[in-house]
């Protein structure tokens, strides 16, 4: 891999918003919506149904003339400089390793949590910014930086892709020390690859897309593909205990990683050698999954690699209603032909996907109308109840044929109607563009967010119903205009349950401190989800956003064990970002 400088310069990212500067949704004068750039399948075409969909769902009117104005001069706290520490930094490191610029410090002071971070950055202000950004380029520099921070009583905050949606990068209240954001993205190299053992050693600052591109040129892949794969980093995946869309074939991050190297105030935490599997007593590296910046800086990891699949095929199936779709997934989970990815979306989210389709003309429009007539009239589907599944099947040609044949046969037993590979591919790839929708709608006084949870098979309907009812009750209680939006999908299936991914939204026009109100509503929905059998998170982590629910997740002694370990290994609290059980 080649050296990289500051991420926002290299990749032309928005910085505070999600994604790339060349990619955004815009509202045209004819009230169609377009996506700029050429990175995504949605780019370059007009979507006439998107605004009508949003207006119907939220019971509002969207006007091109009525948009929120982003704060031009964003408030940044003056840096709180520990002079003795900074003198050592200037003495020991080249000048390009650190930055005091307001723009750099602000970008490194937040993640992508909508109400608590992005909304405040764009239209208000955040309470605290980091005081210095440091770009480490090696393990030795990382050790040196940690030792200086320990000696001079400075707080260090690891920073990867900045895609956190759990307020994990938010500076804790009451932190009086100088806070330094440690950006890992220059540590983005592949250190070695062992093709015989199918292992690779990679530095933690590499993004998912760069890793897969490097491996792809050599005929391999890792297969970890979260929605944020373009921007998130290996270190961030480990620190949040992440999950990817193709976990059925490649595993979650804890299944992919064989060894982690973390540098802490007490030294290096790692296994001496990677192990396929061994009984060695306690495995300290297991503690590093989900550590969320509380213990040290993850600098590299050894991962399993796979030969690139010879065949990749998409498909989709429509079902008459959500309950039938869930039953299909349950029965699929009991088979030996589960595809790399399978996803079920509810009717509201299915219609959302349809609303993002480009305008069709001529023969394509006639064909689409015929297909719609067939589904609704010949097959008896209800447009307000039907839902859809999408599949990604990978492997050899025989593997993919076996999977597809049996999946479609099972779907047919549940009354499913095959939607075809085009819809399957579009539904899967749509995921990478959806995040941009939030920032587009925010300009029109609409706050949206996603939240996910793990739920037993027996509690799926209960959790979905409870979350929906709570949102509508709180929306009415606070006299929020229009109607609230909630949709959900199941992107992951397991032996004992599923991941449910919720999309929430509401118009907050003329609501004072609307971002705080939205955050409180989201918090209440999370509590209801857990009360009805859901988990604190499936793959986003805890951060500070979900800190209040840790007591319902771990026993008192478990929490004490973790705190004792932190106290013994980082007695000076160098890594004082305070996430999870350490959040105040």
The residue ranges of every structural domain in the chain are 83-185, 190-307, 311-429
The CATH architecture one would assign to domain 190-307 is 2-Layer Sandwich (3.30)
The CATH architecture one would assign to domain 311-429 is 2-Layer Sandwich (3.30)
- SS3 of 235-290: the string is HHHHHHCCCCCCHHHHCCHHHHEEEEEEEECCEEECCCCCCCCCCCCCCHHHHHCC
Question: How many CA atoms lie within 13 Å of 363's alpha carbon, on the beta-carbon side?
Answer: 0
Instruction: Note down pLDDT in tens along the chain; length 584 residues.
Output: 434 333 434 447 878 999 999 999 999 999 999 999 999 989 999 999 999 999 999 999 999 999 998 998 898 999 999 999 999 999 999 999 999 999 999 999 999 999 999 999 999 999 999 999 999 999 999 999 999 999 999 999 999 999 999 999 999 999 999 999 999 999 999 999 999 999 999 999 999 999 999 999 999 999 999 999 999 999 999 999 999 999 999 999 999 999 999 999 999 999 998 889 889 999 999 999 999 999 999 999 999 999 999 999 999 999 999 999 999 999 999 999 999 999 999 999 999 999 998 877 665 665 566 567 667 777 888 889 999 999 999 999 999 999 999 999 999 999 999 999 999 999 999 889 888 999 999 999 999 999 999 999 999 999 999 999 999 999 999 999 999 999 999 999 999 999 999 999 999 999 999 999 999 999 999 999 999 999 999 999 999 999 999 999 999 999 999 999 999 999 999 999 999 999 98
> Could you say which of 119, 220, 250, 501 is catalytic?
501
In order of 16, 280, 288, 436, the CA distances from 10 in angstroms are: 15, 43, 29, 20
Place of tokens 């579009």: 426
Residue among 276, 512, 315 at smallest CA distance from 428: 315
Q: What is the pTM of this model?
A: 0.95
Residues 6 or more apart in contact with residue 516 via CB below 8 angstroms: 115
In this structure, which topology does domain 83-185 adopt according to CATH? 3.30.43
Confirm whether 501 is a catalytic residue.
yes
Q: Which strand (E) or helix (H) includes residue 436? A: helix 431-442
Q: Any idea how long the chain is?
A: 584
Please tell me the distance from the alpha carbon of residue 177 to that of residue 131, in angstroms, as a whole number. Answer: 9
Please tell me the distance from the alpha carbon of residue 334 to that of residue 350, in angstroms, as a whole number. Answer: 25
Place of tokens 């800190």: 547
Q: Are 199 and 258 in contact (CB under 8 A)?
A: yes
């Amino acid at each position: 891999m080649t050296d990289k400088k500051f991420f926002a310069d290299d990749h032309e990212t928005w910085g505070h918003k999600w994604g790339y500067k060349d990619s955004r949704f815009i509202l045209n004068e004819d009230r169609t919506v377009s996506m700029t750039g050429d990175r995504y399948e949605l780019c370059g075409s007009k979507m006439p149904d998107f605004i009508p969909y949003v207006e119907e769902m939220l019971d509002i009117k969207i006007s091109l003339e009525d948009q929120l104005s982003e704060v031009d001069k964003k408030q940044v706290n003056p840096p709180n400089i520990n002079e003795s520490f900074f003198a050592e930094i200037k003495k020991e490191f080249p000048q390009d390793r650190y930055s005091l610029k307001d723009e750099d410090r602000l970008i490194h002071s937040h993640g992508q949590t909508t109400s608590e971070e992005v909304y405040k950055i764009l239209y208000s202000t955040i309470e605290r910014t980091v005081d210095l950004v440091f770009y480490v380029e090696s393990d030795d520099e990382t050790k040196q930086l940690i030792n200086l921070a320990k000696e001079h009583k400075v707080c260090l905050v690891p920073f990867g892709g900045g895609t956190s949606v759990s307020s994990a990068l938010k500076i804790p209240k009451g932190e009086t020390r100088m806070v330094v954001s440690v950006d890992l993205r220059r540590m983005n190299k592949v250190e070695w690859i062992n093709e015989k053992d199918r292992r690779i050693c990679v530095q933690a600052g590499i993004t998912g897309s760069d890793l897969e591109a490097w491996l792809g040129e050599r005929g391999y892949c890792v297969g970890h593909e979260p929605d944020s794969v373009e921007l998130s980093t290996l270190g961030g995946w480990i620190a949040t205990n992440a999950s990817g869309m193709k976990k059925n074939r490649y595993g979650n991050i804890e299944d992919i990683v064989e060894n982690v190297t973390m540098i802490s105030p007490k030294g290096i935490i790692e296994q001496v050698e990677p192990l396929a599997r061994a009984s060695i007593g306690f495995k300290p590296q297991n503690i590093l999954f989900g550590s969320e910046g509380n213990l040290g800086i993850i600098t590299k990891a050894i991962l399993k690699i796979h030969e690139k699949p010879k065949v990749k095929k998409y498909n989709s199936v429509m079902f008459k209603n959500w309950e039938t779709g869930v039953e299909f997934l349950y029965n699929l989970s009991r088979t030996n032909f589960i595809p790399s990815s399978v996803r079920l979306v509810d009717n509201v989210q299915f219609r959302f996907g349809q609303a993002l389709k480009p305008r069709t003309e001529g023969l394509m429009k006639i064909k689409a109308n015929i297909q719609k007539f067939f589904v609704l009239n010949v097959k008896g589907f209800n447009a307000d109840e039907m839902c859809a599944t999408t599949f990604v099947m990978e492997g050899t040609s025989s593997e993919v044929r076996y999977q597809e044949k049996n999946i479609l046969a099972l779907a047919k037993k549940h009354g499913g109607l095959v939607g075809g590979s085009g819809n399957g591919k579009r539904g899967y790839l749509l995921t990478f563009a959806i995040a941009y929708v939030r920032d587009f709608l925010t300009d029109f006084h609409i706050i949206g967010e996603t939240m996910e949870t793990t739920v037993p098979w027996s509690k799926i309907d209960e959790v979905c119903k409870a979350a929906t009812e709570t949102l509508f009750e709180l929306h009415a209680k606070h006299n929020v205009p229009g109607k609230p939006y909630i949709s959900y999908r199941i992107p992951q299936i397991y032996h004992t349950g599923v991941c449910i991914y919720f999309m929430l939204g509401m118009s907050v026009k003329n609501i004072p401190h609307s971002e705080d109100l939205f955050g409180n509503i989201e918090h209440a929905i999370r509590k209801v989800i857990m009360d009805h059998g859901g988990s604190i998170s499936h793959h986003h982590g805890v951060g500070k956003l979900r800190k209040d629910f840790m007591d319902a997740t771990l026993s008192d002694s478990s929490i004490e064990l973790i705190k004792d370990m932190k106290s013994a290994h980082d007695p000076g609290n160098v890594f004082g970002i305070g996430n999870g059980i350490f959040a105040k």
